[in-house]
Amino acid sequence: MLGHRRLAVVDLTAGGAQPMTTRDGRFAISYNGELYNDAELRADLERIGVQFFTRSDCETLLQVLATWGAEGLSRCRGMYAFCFVDTASRIALLGRDVLGIKPLYYGWTREQAGRALAFASEPSALLQLPDIDRRPDPVGLLWYLTSARATLEERTLFRGIAAVRPGELLRVRYAEENLSVVRSNIGLPEMPHGPIADIVRESVRRHLRSDAPLCALLSGGLDSSIVAQVATQAGDHPLRTYCSGAKGATAPGGDDFAFARLVGQAIGSVHTEAPVTQDLFENHWQSMVTNQLVPLCTPNETAIYEVARVLRAEGHKVALSGEGADELFGGYDLALAQSAEYLAGTHAIVRAQPGIGAGAFECRAGAWLAPEAHAGVLTPEFLRSTGGMAPIDEALEREFEASRLRARQLGHNDPLQAHLFFQRRVNLVQLLQRLDTATMFAGVEGRTPFADAVVMAAAESLPMSEKYEFGAARSVLKTKIALRRAFGSELPPGVVGREKASFPLPFQNWIGSARRRLLASGALREFVREDALQSVAAAPSQYWHLAWPLTNLAIWLDAVEAQTRAQPESARLAG
């Protein structure tokens, strides 16, 4: 059984409604996303006799899978999460795009006929079902406390809910009484050729296809400015741009509002500001976690939601974003500098832990709660239940080995490439989920021209010297070198040399409200030491790196418990 709640963006007629079936009723699909090579796919299918009845890209993906099977996904350029069902062979496919832009979760329930598999775009939907194990997963909790990330490989914060991994395909055979699941990977696109500027411009143009009003998020940083500038050149009317953040907030890159206004004036956009106050921050934080049942990754998710709420109120359904450029083109100076120090054996973590694996190092170098501090913050009982960092480190080493293999396949000799690829695999997935959940919560589709499979292939093919230069003197101009060279002459000079900043919020000063949450949470005390909880509650602004993940978990645990109480008794899982 398939169900769907549609945000109509392409083909706004009833013909694009979902779930969608082929005319003979054999194949059905529920699909969330956009195909950016829709026209080419349709042309190829029409040449072999496929007839289309709508303009919806959902019908395109349906026919791709009905005609070419799972192998057809390697031809698809876009963001997607879907369930495709072949009722004749009784096989269902669950798939997610290679960058993981669109989320997809699944879990197992037990019905009269036997075990059943359920899937959804959000955990909150799965938790409406009986027999989904909603108990917190100890390893998932430890990972979130350490990294402020809610998924690790297929693991989530719930024992009974898993995530389909980016670029993963689950083939579910439901002909037998006991379901069988086979996992495989979706093929990557062919390597593009040509200047990076042309590849990025083509991606932005493809991302402009929409039958609903479209706009762009503009922070005044390099990435969002490139997207907005190219979109303006490609459009036939002034682009609407939107900026959010806190008025008066200071960040290394300067004032987002001032830089966004500067870029807006340079490209001739119609610009709108959506400032976030402390009250808005607190209200959005509470609402987002409570409704989606996923703790936030970064504080500025609330700013993304606020700007999405404002632009949707002004009639827009689609928003372009610059997300993805940093992980693909080498934009994080500090992270890459630390990776270079790891390779040279000079980083403090390496000196303290000789022989530490690359994945484990990356985790510790960017941790919110360092593993070395776990024993002082978390209870011994909880740490024993997780097995410590071993399960997490093992997963991270698998991710790093896949990154190393990718670098080797592309012929790279610089070992720093594998670290950059790792940052894309682990960090970008969470940031894309941040964008998707925050915008979709406001009824807006967030699109990411940089986080595109073809742009990714082009970026990964570049030598490290065209992305990042490591040296004694750190400089923002030594990051995203190819992008700065390609678009530097088309943007205001201050933007080209600006440090990374994206809708910053002074949450360290705003997080004082965490005190009440922390002290009132009985659930937190099941895994957080009382003395640590009291210390953080007494000075949340001082211990913001702990107050943020702990308060998120307090809100999340309360929300899960409230939803559980609201379930009929028959739907609750014992224990």
Pick the closest to residue 23 from 63, 61, 78, 55 (CA basis). Answer: 63
CB 70 within 8 A of CB 93: yes
Do residues 402 and 518 share a domain? no
Tokens of 116: 């059943």
Q: Say if 261 falls within a structural domain.
A: no
Q: Helical H runs in 249-389? A: 256-267, 278-292, 301-313, 325-329, 333-344, 348-352, 358-365, 374-377, 380-386
Q: Say if 218 falls within a structural domain.
A: no
Do residues 67 and 165 share a domain? yes
pLDDT surpasses 60 at 113: no
Tell me the residue range of the domain where 536 lies. 507-571
Percent of the chain topping pLDDT 70: 94
Choosing from 185, 200, 235, the residue where a domain stops is: 185
DSSP 505-556: --HHHHGGGHHHHHHH-TTGGGTB-HHHHHHHHH-TTTTHHHHHHHHHHHHH
pLDDT surpasses 60 at 573: no
What's the confidence (pLDDT) of residue 415?
97
Do residues 181 and 44 share a domain? yes
Choosing from 185, 207, 223, the residue where a domain stops is: 185
Q: Say if 272 falls within a structural domain.
A: no
Domain with residue 41: its CATH number is: 3.60.20.10
pLDDT surpasses 60 at 78: yes
Neighbours of 172 (CB within 10 A): 18
Q: Which of 114-118, 267-271, 387-391 has the lowest mean pLDDT?
A: 114-118
Distance of CA 203 to the CA centre of its chain: 19
Residues 504 and 236: their CA atoms lie apart, in Å, by 32
What's the confidence (pLDDT) of residue 5?
73
Q: Three-state DSSP class for 274?
A: strand
What's the confidence (pLDDT) of residue 571?
47
pLDDT surpasses 50 at 572: no
β-pairing, 105-111 vs 114-120, is antiparallel
pLDDT surpasses 50 at 435: yes
111 pLDDT band (50/70/90 cuts)?
A: low
Q: Say if 22 falls within a structural domain.
A: yes
Do residues 398 and 540 share a domain? no
CB 189 within 8 A of CB 196: no
Q: Say if 475 falls within a structural domain.
A: no
For the entire predicted model, the pTM comes to: 0.93
Span 364-383, average pLDDT = 96
Average of per-residue pLDDT values in the chain = 91
Span 518-536, average pLDDT = 94
Tokens of 187: 């093929």
pLDDT surpasses 50 at 508: yes
Sequence-ordered list of residues with C-beta below 8 angstroms from that of 551, at least 6 positions apart, any chain: 511, 514, 517, 518, 540
Straight-line distance from the first to the last Cα atom of the chain, in angstroms, rounded to the nearest whole number = 29
What's the confidence (pLDDT) of residue 428?
94
Span 465-484, average pLDDT = 86
Choosing from 185, 201, 221, the residue where a domain stops is: 185
pLDDT surpasses 90 at 110: no
Do residues 131 and 40 share a domain? yes
Half-sphere CA count of 412, side-chain side, radius 13 A: 23
Do residues 147 and 20 share a domain? yes
Q: Say if 410 falls within a structural domain.
A: yes
What is the per-residue pLDDT across 280-330, written as a single tens digit (0 to 9) for each? 999 999 999 999 999 999 999 999 999 999 999 999 999 999 999 999 999
Do residues 400 and 545 share a domain? no
What is the per-residue pLDDT across 187-242, written as a single tens digit (0 to 9) for each? 888 888 999 999 999 999 999 998 899 999 999 999 999 999 999 999 888 999 99
Q: Which of 20-24, 349-353, 476-480 has the lowest mean pLDDT?
A: 476-480
What's the confidence (pLDDT) of residue 4?
67
Q: Say if 341 falls within a structural domain.
A: yes
Span 500-522, average pLDDT = 84
Number of domains in the chain: 3
What's the confidence (pLDDT) of residue 346?
94
Q: Say if 210 falls within a structural domain.
A: no
